[in-house]
Structure 1
Amino acid sequence: MSPAAPALSRTARPLFEDAAGDIAVSFEFFPPRTEKMEATLWESIQTLAPLNPRFVSVTYGAGGSTRERTHATVARIVRETALTPAAHLTCVAATRGEIDDVARAYWDAGVRHIVALRGDPPEPGARFRSPEGGYANAAELVEGLKRVAPFDVSVAAYPECHPDSATRAADLDNLRRKMDAGADRAITQFFFSAESFFRFRDEAAAAGIDAEIVPGILPVSNVAQTRKFAGQCGAAIPPWMDRLFEGLDDLPDARKLVAATVAAELCAQLYRGGVRHFHFYTLNRAELAYAICHLLGVRPGAKQKDQAA
């Protein structure tokens, strides 16, 4: 027997040997600001579409700043693809009547899925204030959307606690109110520790939340940008991640390989913990999300597992 054999026999099985094609994925995009960005977005959509995502969501800028572009992007997805679009909608800078009108316009355009969010104020660092005559929070927004039409509604969840929540218990209570208002599932903010997701999922179950909780995955291609995002949403970036990306600023291809490896390992750990739906924050780039999906056994043309979509 080779001297290495005993050590090898004690190692874990290959991370992706269990990938059996039973995974569902979804992707998030943001509305483009320029013609060049629009071309990049649609190239990414066309690249990822053959993976038959459960849905693709389109974000809504702080303060409602991308409302028109979000609507235009979602409408184009409806017209030109067979994908199921999910439009983000927030409580910021609009009355209930105005938001209800936007929701009706989505329904009339063929959109049946809304990602309902409280939203961030347009001024960085400012605290959210409900506009006069507006929805006060995401739970109220969910309830209002369900009155407008029988939308499929996703809401946000925070494995490491929303920055505006005083305690984890308060954060879970807020999630429960959104579910009680009629939300169909929660999509988490990104995180980099499988343990943090599993702990959150257990806490949610203990709090009486039995709806699907989908992990949000952010492949890290830019550590500085990710650190900025993390500061806004309460996600922690572990020190080892900084060390992994150190020295790769001028090596974009190497950086992509590291990013795909880190995100794919996280997904594999989640898979082994029973997760079968992953939501990828693409930043309008397809390569990393596609590579990770491939490692997870998601292939073009394969029908995804139906999970209460």
Structure 2
Amino acid sequence: MKISKKIERAEKENRVWWSFEYFPPRTAQGLQNLLDRIERMRALGPEFIDITWNAGGRTSDLTSELVKTCQGLIGIETCMHLTCTNMPKEKVDNALREAKQHGCRNVLALRGDPPAGKDEWEAVEGGFVHGIDLVRHIRKEYGDYFDIAVPGFPQHVLLPPDELVFEMKCLKDKCDAGVNFIFTQMFYDVDIFFRWVQAVRDAGITVPIVPGIAPIQTWNGFQKATMLAKTVIPQNFLEALEPHKNNDEKVRAIGIQLVAEMCRKILAADLGIKGLHFYTMNLEKATKMLLEELQLVPRVETVKPLPWRQSLTPSRREESTRPIFWANRAKSYLSRTENWDEYPNGRFGDSRSPAYGELDGYGVWLKQTKDEAYKIWGFPSTLADVHALFARFCLGEIPSLPWSDTSPSPETSVIANQLAKLNEIGFLTINSQPAVNGARSDDRIHGWGPSNGFVYQKAYLEFFVSPGLLDALIPHIERDKLITYYVINKRGDLRTNTHSEGPNAVTWGVFPGKEIIQPTIVEAISFMAWKDEAYELGRKWANLYEPDSPSRKVIADLMETSYLVNVVHNDFKDPNAIFVPFMKAAEDYAASQHTAN
């Protein structure tokens, strides 16, 4: 969605919104760490983020990669900076073309700072001279596809009157050329900001103004940033901060109070401004503390428009349904389905496509390195060790498993003890969800989608299990006429008690003014495709250990002999019903083992 539409919607709903800015790191490791941080900070509820563009596009490839990843994998609306500095027209066109391919709908157009090593700005041959030239070019080439933002400088209000008039004319000309909104440079003097906003409106500029807010991280960082931008610092800021300049924690705590008070004044003023844009400096804690101080709580709809992470690339923006099997491996799902014949069709369609289930196109990988795996999972040497490892994951004591890229979801905590028990007795769960009977869509654990709705889901379990324990389970499952299941082995032999080839919706939502949304399903053909990946992940885990080691043997044997099973209990009103057959099966199996011995 365009940022201007987000601003417009927030105004209609009379609510405060916020957004974050990041810059591309210089190293690949830094990029990965930043992506992890952006993904975590997504839970803070930004309406969008923006990614800076270094002078001359020094990190242009990283900017493009960040935009692509944030739009496609993290699923957060992204605004891309674009400068004129050292940017010939061809390079600008390439950047815009890639942004559109990634689904980016928002660009911040800047003239940019002078290139590194130069004091004066100069145009590159074949490039653009002013920011307005870049705005006009984008509008000429792309029409209204992009929302275009430009920077605003509140301290221009301190210029002599004739210079201020000139700056306002330049800003007005940009807006008349097609600008949708203005991001301001950071500031700390709220009175200067108010005077500048009035000057902007007096100049006939009506587009939304988004104030740029810079959390105070450390004294040295604060001094450096304000000196570089020649930012006016109010005397009360200096008096409060300077006595503690050698205590970073104290500076940050005081800075949070000062900046929060400034934000409150902005939001309370009669300016029509309901949004705050945070310059994070790629750091998390100060921004999080500032939001907490302002009591700005993320809307569930912003964080979870669907129960799974939605991709915002063009071919997937309308995607509304996915198989549940890849719930914990979204990147793998996106890679696997990139070339499905069915896209873009807006729904999960006929999975009999010849492109479906192909593994060789991208391979199966573990997120963890060998050293990380050893640190997380240790060296299990018996089945009991493996069972305990899975149980610890369900209880949140370890951060991941080979089948799950992230720690257990918040809703796992609702059934964590039951899951831990299942794993201890030999049902090695790799995916699950509890039954939910009409939770509000803004519920902090189960909620997703638009406000004032209700969400439902059937209890679901997916697990590896030994042949003997499976034989004990199946009779109990089949006695419960409300349970459907699929069982498959490594070779691909499938059995089930369902007589329908169609999908079984296991999650749905009911919202005002919408059809019922059914975003998560179980169905046979995609389960068969997921089976290959599930077993391969186990094999890769085994291969992290030395060839003759007990760890490799126990995991490899487990993958060779176990069945992969998924179970859906269709009575979503009874949260405990799904676990009953498992407990009975465990008792029967234990009794049979005792008799055999």
TM-score (norm 2): 0.45
Q: Aligned ranges for residues 175-186 of structure 1 at < 5 Å?
A: 175-186=171-182
Compared CA separation, residues 265 and 164, structure 1 to 2 (3 A): closer
Q: Secondary structure at the match of 1:87?
A: strand
Q: Residues 50-83 of structure 1, C-alpha deviation per residue, up to 9 Å, x if partnerless?
A: 2332210011112322211111111111121121
Aligned to 2:236: 240
Q: Residues 82-113 of structure 1, C-alpha deviation per residue, up to 9 Å, x if partnerless?
A: 21011110001121232122111111121111
- Say yes or no: does 1:214 pair with 2:210: yes
Larger displacement relative to structure 2 (157-166 or 234-243)? 157-166
Compared CA separation, residues 43 and 287, structure 1 to 2 (3 A): farther
| Post-superposition offset of 1:21 | 8.4
Aligned to 1:285: 283
State the distance in 1 between where 2:187 and 2:168 align.
Answer: 17
| Post-superposition offset of 1:36 | 4.8
| Post-superposition offset of 1:301 | 3.3
State the distance in 1 between where 2:117 and 2:159 align.
Answer: 13
Give 1:296's match in structure 2, choosing from 294, 297, 306.
Answer: 294
State the distance in 2 between where 1:125 and 1:182 align.
Answer: 31
Aligned to 1:104: 97
Q: Secondary structure at the match of 2:211?
A: strand
Give 1:272's match in structure 2, choosing from 252, 261, 268.
Answer: 268
State the distance in 2 between where 1:39 and 1:69 align.
Answer: 11
Q: Which has the higher contact order (CA 8 A, sep 6+)?
A: 1
State the distance in 2 between where 1:21 and 1:52 align.
Answer: 17
Q: Secondary structure at the match of 2:120?
A: coil
| Post-superposition offset of 1:190 | 0.6
Q: Aligned ranges for residues 80-91 of structure 1 at < 5 Å?
A: 80-91=73-84
- Say yes or no: does 1:95 pair with 2:88: yes
Aligned partner letter, 2:43: P
Larger displacement relative to structure 2 (159-168 or 174-183)? 159-168
Q: Residues 150-172 of structure 1, C-alpha deviation per residue, up to 9 Å, x if partnerless?
A: 20111100000299998222221
State the distance in 1 between where 2:179 and 2:286 align.
Answer: 30
Aligned to 1:77: 70
Compared CA separation, residues 233 and 202, structure 1 to 2 (3 A): same
Q: Is the 8 A contact 1:100 1:144 kept in 2?
A: no
| Post-superposition offset of 1:175 | 1.1
Q: Residues 142-191 of structure 1, C-alpha deviation per residue, up to 9 Å, x if partnerless?
A: 11112232201111000002999982222212211211111100000011
Q: Is the 8 A contact 2:56 2:86 kept in 1?
A: yes
Q: Is the 8 A contact 1:155 1:187 kept in 2?
A: yes
Q: What is the identity percentage for the equivalent residue pairs of Structure 1 and Structure 2?
A: 27
Give 2:154's match in structure 1, choosing from 159, 169, 178.
Answer: 159
State the distance in 1 between where 2:93 and 2:263 align.
Answer: 36
Q: Is the 8 A contact 1:21 1:297 kept in 2?
A: no
Structure 1: gaps (5+ residues): 1-19, 305-309
Aligned partner letter, 1:157: G
| Post-superposition offset of 1:273 | 0.7
Q: Is the 8 A contact 1:162 1:171 kept in 2?
A: no
Q: Is the 8 A contact 1:162 1:233 kept in 2?
A: no
Q: Residues 210-239 of structure 1, C-alpha deviation per residue, up to 9 Å, x if partnerless?
A: 110110000122333333333443421233
Q: Secondary structure at the match of 2:99?
A: helix
| Post-superposition offset of 1:302 | 4.0
Q: Which one has the largest radius of gyration?
A: 2
| Post-superposition offset of 1:267 | 0.3
State the distance in 1 between where 2:238 and 2:205 align.
Answer: 34
Compared CA separation, residues 109 and 142, structure 1 to 2 (3 A): same
Which consecutive segments of 4 or more residues in structure 1 shift more than 6 A? 162-166
Q: Is the 8 A contact 2:83 2:112 kept in 1?
A: yes
TM-score (norm 1): 0.84
State the distance in 2 between where 1:146 and 1:202 align.
Answer: 28
Aligned partner letter, 2:267: Y
Q: Aligned ranges for residues 8-157 of structure 1 at < 5 Å?
A: 22-123=15-116, 126-149=119-142, 150-157=145-152
Q: Is the 8 A contact 1:163 1:232 kept in 2?
A: no
The CA RMSD over aligned residues, in Å, is 2.4
Larger displacement relative to structure 2 (288-297 or 51-60)? 288-297
Q: Is the 8 A contact 1:40 1:285 kept in 2?
A: no
Aligned partner letter, 1:293: L
Q: Secondary structure at the match of 2:154?
A: coil
- Say yes or no: does 1:252 pair with 2:245: no
Aligned to 1:17: none
Structure 2: gaps (5+ residues): 1-12, 303-597
| Post-superposition offset of 1:23 | 0.6
Aligned partner letter, 2:282: N
State the distance in 1 between where 2:92 and 2:289 align.
Answer: 37
| Post-superposition offset of 1:124 | 5.6
Compared CA separation, residues 32 and 21, structure 1 to 2 (3 A): farther
State the distance in 2 between where 1:190 and 1:184 align.
Answer: 20
| Post-superposition offset of 1:25 | 0.5
Q: Is the 8 A contact 1:26 1:280 kept in 2?
A: yes
Q: Secondary structure at the match of 1:228?
A: helix
State the distance in 2 between where 1:235 and 1:256 align.
Answer: 18
| Post-superposition offset of 1:42 | 2.6
Q: Is the 8 A contact 1:160 1:196 kept in 2?
A: yes
| Post-superposition offset of 1:39 | 4.5
State the distance in 2 between where 1:247 and 1:125 align.
Answer: 36
State the distance in 2 between where 1:118 and 1:276 align.
Answer: 27
| Post-superposition offset of 1:123 | 3.1
Q: Is the 8 A contact 2:78 2:106 kept in 1?
A: yes
